[in-house]
Structure formats: C-alpha cells, structure tokens
C-alpha cells in the first residue's frame, strides 16, 4: 500500500493539465479526509470543554458526541460514510465557529447555533446506524422533518425544536414523533434504509458512474439557495439527465469520467449557487464549496450536456481546492485585482486561477464532444463552447504565467495548464467560431474596463 501523503511534481503537473490518474485523485481525497477528521476532533473537544451553562441542550450535545465517537471506534469504515460525507464539512465548520468564545453575538446567531449543534444528533445517529450500534437518543425537528444524513428524512409537521425519540438496533430504526405513529425504518439487502411509512423520504441515488452519487434534496446543511424535497417526477428527471450525461463525460475524455470518483452528492438548488462555482448558463447555475469536498450544487440543467459540462467544470474546483490544501501554489492575497473574461467583477488571484483552470477543462471537454457528436446542431454548439472557453483561458494565461506570486509548485501547475491550452489548439474549430470567440473575449474586456475605469486589465 502506498504511503504517499503529498503530491509529487508529476502529480502537480498532471493536475495542472486538468488530468490526474486514480492514485493522484485518491491522494487528494485522502488529504480531505484527514482534514475532516481533524476538524471533527476540534469540534468534539470544543463540545467537551465548552463553558456553556449546564442544561439539557448541553448534556444532549455531549451524549451525541459520545455516540459519534462510539460509532467511529466500533466500525470506522461504516461511520465514516457520514463523517466524510460532503455536507458534514460546512456544518462542522459552522459548529466550531459557534463554540468559539464570544460567538453567537449577532442577531439570529443564537438560534442558528442551537440548530447546528442539535444537528450533531442526526449525524451521530446516522453514523451509529451505519455502524450497527444499538442505542436510544433524542433528536429535534427542523424544517418540518428529522433528517438523518445519507439515510433519509422523516416528515414531522411540528415546530422547529420539537423533540423526537429514536431507538436503534441492527438494521432497524424506530422514530417516535409527536402527532403520529412510530415510524419503523429497515435496512434492506442493498444497504438502503426504507419504510412503508409514507412520511419517510429515502435519499435518491444516481447509479452508473464509478460510485453511487446521492441526489441530496434532504440534507443541505443550510446551504444558500437550497430547496425542499424534490417531487418523484423531479427526481426522475434528474435521474434521466444523469443517465444521459455519463456517456457525454465519457466522450469528454478519460479524466472527465475518472473525476466522478470524487463526486459524493449533487445538491439541487432553486437559485444561483455560492462558493467557487460559476453560472454555466442563463437558466442553469452550479457551484462548489471548499468545505464540502465532493458536493456539487446545481439548479436543474436544461440538458444532459449542460449537466455534464457543469460537473466537468465544478470538479476542477474540487481538485484545485484539495491540491491547495496539500501544497501552496501561490502567495497572493485576497485583493480583487484581476480581469477574468468569464466574470463581470474583478477577481482575487485565487479565484482567477480557479476560473482559468475550470475553463481549460471545459475547453477540452467541448472539443472532445464536438469530435464525437454526429448530430450537426450539437456538434456546432460544442465547437462554439470550446472556442469561447479556449479563448477565455488564452486571454489570461500571460498574467498567470508572469505572476511573481506563484511558488515553485504553482509554476509547475501553471506551466502544465499552459501546455494543455496549447495542445487544445489542434484540431481547431471551424473558423467562424474562432472569430466569434475572439470578439466575445474582446467585448468582455472592453465592458470590464468601462465598468472599472480606474483599473487596468491585470
């Protein structure tokens, strides 16, 4: 078994070219898992040593912390399906913030903190259920349901904070909520948790890629733009888009398919996303969050090609965030000094680099798709998207390559990015697409300078 814990120069170069073999991607994932365990250790220690006034809520939090630790000790691989789940990260970061001295002072922070700390019970319960522990605990209702991450959710038409009792034995959960009968949830032979109770909402799983991916419309961790549970028809629509997107990612190259091994869940959104992601089109947006490695937030894409392109784009952000946690690529600050032809606002260097990297992957994806498609309209659309993305990256490459803020590792990364950009010149798209892409970038540059007259195009 490999004991490699840091990326080599070859790994950095491969990632800079928007590639990366299975072992390289596994290295990124291992780094994120180590980071998650350290974050959870900080959280559990903070719960154990918090100076909060003793009371039922504090005692319940310590009970849930003990349950989580027992699950991890008893069956670490099973419990870590929840601990390493993408949406556990943003929640854990918020909880650590709430538990710092002087936290929860802004209006509304107290209720948000209480809700986040209470969610520890749901997370600990899910981990303990995966670990086959027998236990009883108390949970609370939020958004008219009790959510058990990766397991499902029980509808509970009761006010937020209403107490619910859960009892667990191997492969069996009993949830007693006010205003209704006890719900029995059983684990089937596939590992899914199902119930005849119509109040129980199992998660929807997307199959066919290198690993199962949750379409998580139940446990959003209070992400901006979130929506409620999807209807059966909406879930079926997402499933059809996923099924049709997989072969398109295959056409986009081996790297685009391999990257799906990083994908943990897709979170459906109703509006624009937040984080390092970007709007893919006028009617579709997608995004990522550095703390939610493996999650892609997305509104419903119009077509399977939009979904495939959105995943190809967002997984580059995930890769670059994970790489940046293992090695320093630059020493630039957060000042928004850079023009990026894919955004109307000035960008900090890190966002500038992220955007160039993701658009380079899109240029390669659309080029391969154009070469693979036989249908004229689809092929023409792919060539147009390739030409635009390629021209956008080309416009910013001189600034990236000339930056004095790059470290040695950063220079390796950007050099590989530039080399990949050069490779994507051949085969070239039809001439008309090149002309229109160049005009598009120049128009974006001119508009940006008009909006920011005191700045230069850095």
pLDDT at 280: 44
What is the pLDDT confidence band of residue 273, given thresholds at 50, 70 and 90?
very low
Mean pLDDT of the region 19-43? 96
CA distances from 105 to 44, 108, 144, 212 (A): 22, 8, 27, 41
Tokens for 137, please give them: 């605990």
Residues sharing a CB contact under 8 Å with residue 140, sequence separation 6 or more, in sequence order: 118, 121, 146, 160, 161, 162, 163, 164
What is the pLDDT confidence band of residue 415, given thresholds at 50, 70 and 90?
very high
Q: What gap in Å lies between CA 439 and CA 256, rounded to an integer?
A: 29
Residues sharing a CB contact under 8 Å with residue 299, sequence separation 6 or more, in sequence order: 268, 269, 270, 271, 272, 273, 283, 284, 285, 286
Lowest average pLDDT, out of 100-104, 238-242, 433-437, 446-450, goes to 100-104
**DSSP 3-state of 16:** helix
pLDDT at 278: 44
Q: What gap in Å lies between CA 115 and CA 222, rounded to an integer?
A: 10
DSSP letter string over 276-291? S-EEEETTEEEE--TT
Tokens for 121, please give them: 């019970």
Tokens for 446, please give them: 């001119």
Q: What gap in Å lies between CA 455 and CA 314, rounded to an integer?
A: 29
Token pair 């892609």 is at which residue? 296
Judge residue 359's burial from the number of C-beta atoms within 10 Å of its C-beta, 0-12 exposed, 13-18 middle, 19 or more buried: buried
The closest alpha carbon to 103, from 51, 40, 42, belongs to 51
pLDDT at 5: 83
Mean pLDDT of the region 332-354? 96
Q: What gap in Å lies between CA 233 and CA 231, rounded to an integer?
A: 5
Where are the chain's structural domains?
9-202, 203-327, 328-458
Question: Cα 37–217–315 angle (5° rounding)?
Answer: 55
**DSSP 3-state of 297:** strand
Tokens for 313, please give them: 């784009």
pLDDT at 277 over 90: no
Judge residue 284's burial from the number of C-beta atoms within 10 Å of its C-beta, 0-12 exposed, 13-18 middle, 19 or more buried: middle
Mean pLDDT of the region 83-87? 97
pLDDT at 230 over 70: yes
What is the pLDDT confidence band of residue 271, given thresholds at 50, 70 and 90?
low
pLDDT at 227: 62
Q: DSSP letter at 229? A: P
The closest alpha carbon to 287, from 272, 309, 304, belongs to 272
Tokens for 193, please give them: 């948790």
What value does the CA radius of gyration of the chain take, rounded to a whole number of Å?
23
Q: What gap in Å lies between CA 98 and CA 90, rounded to an integer?
A: 12
Mean pLDDT of the region 73-86? 97
Count of CB atoms situated within 10 Å of the CB of 269: 22
pLDDT tens sequence across 368-404: 999 999 999 999 999 999 999 999 999 999 999 999 9
Q: What gap in Å lies between CA 25 and CA 22, rounded to an integer?
A: 5
Tokens for 117, please give them: 């700390």
Q: What gap in Å lies between CA 372 and CA 391, rounded to an integer?
A: 21
Q: DSSP letter at 179? A: T
pLDDT at 49: 81
Mean of pLDDT over the chain: 92
Q: What is the pTM of this model?
A: 0.93
Tokens for 374, please give them: 């036989």
Q: What gap in Å lies between CA 47 and CA 24, rounded to an integer?
A: 35
The closest alpha carbon to 413, from 428, 403, 427, 425, belongs to 403
Q: Are 86 and 293 in contact (CB under 8 A)?
A: yes
Q: What gap in Å lies between CA 4 and CA 57, rounded to an integer?
A: 42
């Amino acid at each position: 078994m490999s004991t490699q814990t840091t990326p080599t120069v070859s790994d950095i170069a491969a990632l800079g070219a928007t590639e990366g073999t299975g072992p390289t991607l596994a290295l990124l994932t291992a780094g994120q898992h180590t980071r998650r365990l350290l974050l959870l250790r900080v959280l559990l220690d903070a719960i154990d040593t918090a100076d909060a006034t003793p009371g039922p809520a504090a005692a319940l939090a310590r009970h849930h912390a003990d349950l989580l630790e027992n699950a991890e000790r008893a069956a670490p691989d099973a419990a870590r399906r929840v601990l390493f789940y993408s949406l556990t990260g943003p929640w854990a970061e918020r909880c650590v913030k709430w538990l710092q001295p002087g936290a929860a002072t802004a209006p509304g922070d107290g209720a948000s903190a209480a809700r986040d700390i209470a969610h520890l019970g749901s997370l600990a319960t899910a981990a303990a259920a995966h670990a086959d522990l027998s236990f009883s605990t108390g949970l609370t209702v939020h958004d008219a349901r009790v959510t058990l991450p990766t397991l499902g959710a029980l509808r509970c038409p009761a006010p937020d904070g209403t107490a619910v009792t859960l009892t667990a034995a191997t492969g069996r959960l009993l949830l007693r909520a006010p205003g209704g009968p006890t719900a029995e949830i059983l684990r089937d032979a596939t590992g899914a948790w199902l119930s005849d109770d119509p109040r129980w909402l199992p998660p929807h799983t997307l199959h066919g890629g290198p690993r199962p991916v949750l379409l998580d419309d139940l446990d959003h961790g209070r992400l901006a733009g979130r929506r409620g549970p999807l209807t059966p028809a909406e879930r079926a629509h997402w499933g059809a888009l996923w099924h049709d997107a997989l072969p398109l990612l295959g056409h986009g190259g081996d790297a685009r398919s391999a990257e799906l091994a990083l994908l943990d869940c897709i979170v459906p959104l109703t509006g624009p996303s937040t984080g390092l992601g970007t709007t893919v089109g006028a009617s579709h947006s997608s995004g990522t969050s550095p703390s939610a490695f493996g999650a892609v937030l997305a509104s419903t894409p119009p077509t399977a090609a939009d979904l495939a392109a959105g995943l190809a784009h967002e997984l580059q952000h995930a890769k670059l965030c994970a790489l940046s946690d293992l090695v320093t690529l630059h020493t630039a600050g957060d000042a928004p000094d850079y023009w990026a032809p894919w955004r109307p606002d000035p960008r900090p260097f890190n966002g500038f680099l992220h955007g160039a990297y993701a658009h380079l992957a899109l240029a390669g994806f659309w080029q391969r798709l154009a070469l693979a498609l036989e249908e004229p309209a689809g092929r023409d659309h792919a060539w147009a998207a390739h030409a635009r993305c390629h021209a956008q990256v080309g416009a910013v490459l001189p600034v990236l390559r000339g930056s004095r803020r790059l470290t040695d590792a950063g220079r390796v990364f950007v050099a590989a990015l530039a080399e990949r950009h050069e490779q994507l010149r051949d085969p070239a798209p039809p001439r008309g697409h090149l002309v229109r892409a160049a005009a598009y970038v120049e128009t974006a540059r001119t508009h940006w300078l008009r909006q920011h007259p005191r700045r230069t195009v850095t």
